[in-house]
Copies of this chain bind each other. A is one copy, B any other.
Amino acid sequence: MPELDRIDRKILDVLQRQGRMSMTELAEHIGLSASPCAERVKRMERDGVITGYHAHVSPEALGRTLLVFVEIKLSAKSGDVFDKVRKELLHMPEVLECHLVSGSFDYLVKARLSGMSEYRHLLGDILKKLPVAAESHSYVVMEEIKETLMLAVDR
């Protein structure tokens, strides 16, 4: 991955905040004309620095009012099991995040659900589809203080 200069980083900063800003306006913000600005953006898209552009939607507007984190501990830990878990969780749209963690549990899953019925269904799915799920522990979110994917660009 190539180096990012100050202009690249400024572009990333702006596009992380306003992903639909026009190249013309973006160019003004960073003090460049439109063509080289657009070229830098394209280069970063090609290089995988910018991985995509996404509208963010209010979970409440879609009725997903329940946010839960689920810790899952597997009893067996073969490579096969990890692969299967990956595949299963990737295709559950209510699962927004899944990470393999070190420490006292194996997976940390974040899911947005419409209510307790969907929650019960999720847990059932996980424990049934996973070949050797042993323990699971859930945390219900009472208040969301912050949720973003925006990274500081530093400089």
Interface residues of A (CB under 8 A from B): 1, 4, 12, 15-20, 47-62, 64, 67, 69, 85-86, 89-90, 93-103, 105, 107-108, 112, 137-154
Query: In the complex, A150→B145 CA distance in Å?
Result: 19
Query: Given A20-B19, A57-B50, A150-B54, are A143 and B64 neighbors across the interface (CB < 8 Å)?
Result: no
Query: In the complex, A28→B141 CA distance in Å?
Result: 39
6 more A-B contacts (CB under 8 A) besides A12-B57, A17-B54, A50-B55? Answer: A4-B62, A16-B57, A57-B151, A62-B153, A102-B140, A102-B141
Q: How far is the CB of A25 from chain B (nearest CB, A)?
A: 13
What residue of chain B has the Cβ atom nearest to residue A152's Cβ? B93
